[in-house]
Structure 1
Amino acid sequence: MAQQHGRKRKPAGAEAPRRNDTCSSLGYTKPGTYEELRAVLSSGTVNLPKRLRQVAIFLWQHPGDVALGTISQVAEKVGVQPSTLVRFAQIFGFSGFSDFQSLFKEHVKASLPEGRAIEGAADEPGATGADLHFLRGMVSASQASLGRIESRFDVEAFDAMIELLAGADMIYVIGSKRAFPVTSYLSLTLSQQGMRNVLVDNVGSTALDQVACTGPGDVVLAVSFSPYNSITPDLVAVARERNARVLTITDSAFSPLVPLSDRWVEVVESDFAGFRSLAASLAVGIALVHGVAVRRRKEIGS
Structure 2
Amino acid sequence: MSKTDDLIKRIQDNYAKLSKSQKIIAEYIINHYDKAAFMTAAKLGANINISESTVVRFANTLGYNGYPELQSALQELIKNKLTTVQRLEMTEETDEIAILNNVLKSDIENIKETLTEINKETFKKVVSDIFEAKKIYIIGSRSSIAIAEYLGFYLNLILENVSVVKPGISDVFEQILRVCEKDLVIGIGFPRYSKRTLEVLKYAKSQNAKIVTITDSLISPLTSVADEILIAKSNMASFVDSLVAPLSLVNALIVAVGLKEKDKIAETFEKLESIWDEYGVYLSKLS
- Shorter-chain TM range is 0.5 to 0.7
Task: State the AA in 2 paired with 1:252.
Answer: S
Provide the rounded CA distance (Å) in 2 between the counterparts of 1:237 and 1:70.
39
Q: Kindly tell me: are residues 71 and 188 of structure 1, through their superposed partners in 2, closer, same or farther at Cα, counting changes over 3 Å?
A: farther
TM-score calculated relative to the size of structure 2: 0.63
Corresponding position: 1:218 with 2:176: no
Q: Does 1:148 align with 2:106?
A: no
Identity %: 20
- Equivalent position to 2:32, from 60, 73, 76: 76
Determine helix, strand or coil for the equivalent of 1:271: coil
Residue of structure 1 aligned with 2:161, choices 183, 187, 196:
196
Alignment of 1:107-256 (within 5 A): 107-108=65-66, 130-204=95-169, 206-256=171-221
Structure 2 unaligned segments of length 5 or more: list them.
12-24, 37-54, 73-89, 266-287
Q: Which amino acid aligns with 2:117?
A: R
Q: Distance in 2 between matches of 1:100 and 1:211?
A: 50
Distance 2:31 2:217 in 1: 20
Supply the distance in 2 between the matched residues of 1:240 and 1:102 (Cα, whole angstroms). 41
Unaligned runs of 5+ in 1: 1-35, 42-47, 56-68, 81-96, 115-120
Question: What does residue 227 of structure 2 align with?
Answer: 262
**1:85 matched to which residue of 2?**
none
How far is 1:98 from its partner?
10
Shift of 1:227: 3.3
Distance 1:110 1:141 in 2: 11
TM-score of the superposition, structure 1-length normalised?
Answer: 0.60
Figure out how many residues of one structure are paired with residues of the other and give that number: 214
Distance 2:196 2:97 in 1: 36
- The aligned amino acid for 2:122 is A
RMSD, aligned CA: 3.7
Counterpart of 2:184 in structure 1: which amino acid? V
Q: 1:27: which partner in 2? A: none
Moved more, 224-233 or 209-218: 224-233
Report the AA paired with residue 65 of structure 2. H
Checking the alignment, whether the CA contact within 8 Å between 2:137 and 2:165 is kept in structure 1 is: yes
- For the pair shown, which has the larger CA radius of gyration, 1 or 2? 1
